Amino acid sequence: MPRITPNLWFDTESEEAANFYVSVFPNSKIKNVTYYGEAGPRPAGMVLTVDFSLDGQDYIAINGGPQFTFDEAISLMITCADQEEVDRYWSKLSEGGEEGPCGWLKDKYGLSWQVVPEGMNDLLSDPDNARGQRAMKAMLGMKKIDLAALQAAADAA
């Protein structure tokens, strides 16, 4: 199967955003930066693309112009090992951005993220439908996901 690399379209912030994302995730790095030349369409010397990886997943950020912006139709999901990891990523990615419902947030560049704890989907789809529904009801009232609160809601009878 060919490699699939998400390409993130920015107006002018591709290098700044890539550097920010690399600072948030361990084992991440900027791999290459390319620049517009005399042929344009943007000013020569301006960053065109930034190739970077976040813990082994490759991405490309492009300074494509203001024509397109991010919306919630696409998001990047982080499955976190525990509540501490949820808290850490939530704090870093939401700073300067916007907290949304049910573990969703927009970072300061407008990119949507889902920050969820491992095991959350198992809890929501519990074979005991009432238990799963109690957890779902609790999640719908949250911004940042609190796994202990989800479990407590699921276990409440």
- Give the pTM: 0.93
Q: Of 142, 143, 8, whose CA–CA distance to 76 is shortest?
A: 8
Domain ranges of the chain: 1-68, 70-157
3-state SS string for 82-131 = CHHHHHHHHHHHHCCCEECCCCEEECCCCCEEEEEECCHHHHHCCCCHHH
What kind of architecture, by CATH, is found in domain 70-157? Roll (3.10)
Q: What is the pLDDT of residue 8?
A: 98
Tens-place pLDDT, residues 73-91: 999 999 999 999 999 999 9
Domain 1-68, classified CATH 3.30.720.100, yes or no: yes
